[in-house]
Structure 1
């Protein structure tokens, strides 16, 4: 799984792991898995329910927070951020390719660090996230601008 991208010491994002890869997450020291895929999405190696069983059987915490481009809204990001607090770190967060997971985690980190929406998009680009959907770009930017902890 060479497409993993470490956001910081607490969060790494990437594409959805299959059964074998879930075991390697344990070996790699992860303590929790966050799945942003919606049930019934195309090309899922395993369903969210199966993934939950496998992740928990491996001794990791599991959070399923379905996000689609249509359902992405500030409340969902807030929910992710508050649930993230409670999860044992480090966390492996994924969607199908890592795009939604990357956007969600970047918004969290940026808001925590008081970055602007523009800075967030630049940092995401430097890290190799292709934010190729204008509506996703706009959403990330406005969320961060509204939630950045100024001076905190």
Structure 2
């Protein structure tokens, strides 16, 4: 399946579930890191993060695992996401099942940076 990559900022794009064989293409598009926001085992046949990470390493891409569920979209997770973005080489591609959780984490992280908790 073709990747539906949505650019959110210069440093961050989101997409749905990726597969190991797409990592070379992701690298070719200039991404230097990926963040997996999808918990392993959400559906049968889903590639595990370990499989994705191995393919990412082979493609020269950093990979981080920050799994979230719909109920788990908290400021804590958003802060962890922002921390990853601050430390990983960009641009970064974040993914979950559809890209929705990754996009939501990004907007939460952005809102928290615009209005830091006093």
Bigger Rg, which one: 1
Which structure is higher in helix share? 1
Distance 2:31 2:75 in 1: 27
The corresponding residue for 1:7 is: 8
The corresponding residue for 1:38 is: 39
The corresponding residue for 1:96 is: 97
4+ residue runs of structure 1 moved beyond 4 angstroms? none
Unaligned runs of 5+ in 1: 115-147
Going from structure 1 to structure 2, the CA distance change for 1:2 and 1:16 (only over 3 Å counts) comes to closer
Distance 1:20 1:47 in 2: 13
Q: Secondary structure at the match of 2:9?
A: coil
RMSD of aligned residue pairs (Cα, Å): 1.7
Greater length-normalized contact order (CA 8 Å, ≥ 6 residues apart): 2
Q: Secondary structure at the match of 1:33?
A: strand
Unaligned runs of 5+ in 2: none
TM-score, normalisation: structure 1: 0.70
CA contact (8 A) 2:75 2:108 kept: no
Q: Describe the superposition over 1:29-59 as per-residue Cα deviations: whole angstroms up to 9, x where unpaired.
A: 0000000010111155411111111111111
